[in-house]
Amino acid sequence: MPAHRSRTTGWRRCLQQLVDHNGSLQIALAPNGPTGRDFVWRAKLISLSDNEIIVEMPTAAGEPLPLEEGVQLLGIIAIGQNRWMFRTNCLGNISYRSNSRDGIGLRLQMPKTVERCQRRRDYRITTDVLSLPEITAWPLLDPRSIVLPERMCQLRMERHNSDDIEPRALSEKDVMPDVGPSFTATLVNIGGGGVGMQVPAGHASGVGRHRLHWLRFPLPGSDSPPICVTAKLMHWHLEAGNSTYMGMMFDFSFNPSHKRFVTQQITRAVAIQQREQLRAA
């Protein structure tokens, strides 16, 4: 797919190219203050009109993630190393049919203008800056060892949400699964039942050696404990600047009950962000 390198010329053509090639639009809640951690969802593009962009409903751990009508969003058009960002707002849900399959999509207002990001990893436009979360990952050596750590993650979150101030009975290091050395990455997108991570150059040695990983990352707009979850490496590739992109799929096969917990916590954090944004409007 050819890249259009001028600042804004041809962005509508690029958007149409993504639709024609079953591509995706990246969307995020417009920041409501310096949260320091913003989720970016990858949502499949369905169709375009003069006034609207239709995308698949974003997901959290593979479950639909409802966004409220009127909430302000940032849209990101990414083709290769080129990225354009724009402000938009949610116009509500819509039913659609694609490839003989019915689905629920999201209606976004078509922007009048976009801004090209100046640097490859920059998520900054005139009025908004996205700060992507840092994620810590460990190669998982024994997947059977994750049940207790995932349960302790859930207990810590429940205690935080209930304002329980009692000290933890176990320290974090006591409830880690059987893992190898950790590495840090940037959580660049979430959706499709997993996450996309960008590992800096020099920190991705042997990333394809292990299939399963133990992940820990913060929730947006919240001071709650981080989410811990098992994930399977589905694909990875080198990017410009020698960073490595890792596509990870959440894996709940060793602890199926953890899926509901992860979905609830992500949905709850996003609902809080939406409520605060709409309240400040």
Give the tens place of pLDDT for each residue, 60-104: 888 888 899 999 999 999 887 778 999 999 999 999 887 777 888
Q: How far apart are CA 62 and CA 259, in angstroms?
A: 9
- What is the per-residue pLDDT for 33? 64
CA-based radius of gyration for the chain:
19
DSSP letter for each residue of the chain: -----SSSTTHHHHHHHHHHTT-EEEEEEPPSS--S----EEEEEEEE-SSEEEEEPPEETTEE----TT-EEEEEEEETTEEEEEEEEEEEEEEEEETTEEEEEEEEEPPS--EE-SSTT--B-SS-B--PPEEEEEEEEEGGGGHHHHHHHHHHHHHHHTT--SPPSS-GGGG--EE---EEEEEEEEETTEEEEEEPTTS-TTGGG-SEEEEEEPPTT--SPPEEEEEEEEEEEE-GGG-EEEEEEE--TT-TTHHHHHHHHHHHHHHHHHHHHHHH-
The pLDDT assigned to 203 comes to 75
Tell me, what's the pLDDT at 101?
77
CA distances from 189 to 9, 251, 278 (A): 26, 17, 23
* Spacing of C-alpha 20 from chain mean position: 23
Look up tokens 């997947």; give the residue. Answer: 143
Q: What is the pLDDT of residue 90?
A: 96
> To which CATH superfamily is domain 11-116 assigned?
Electron Transport, Fmn-binding Protein; Chain A (2.30.110.10)
pLDDT tens per residue across span 232-254: 999 998 887 788 999 999 999 99
Q: Residue 3 has what pLDDT?
A: 45
| Residue numbers of the chain with a pLDDT score lower than 70 | 1-9, 33-36, 118-121, 163-174, 204
- At residue 34, the pLDDT reads 59
Please state, in angstroms and rounded to a whole number, the distance separating the CA atoms of residues 28 and 224: 20
Give me the residue spans of the domains in the chain: 11-116, 134-280
pTM: 0.86
Q: What CATH class is the domain 134-280?
A: mainly beta
What's residue 151's pLDDT? 94
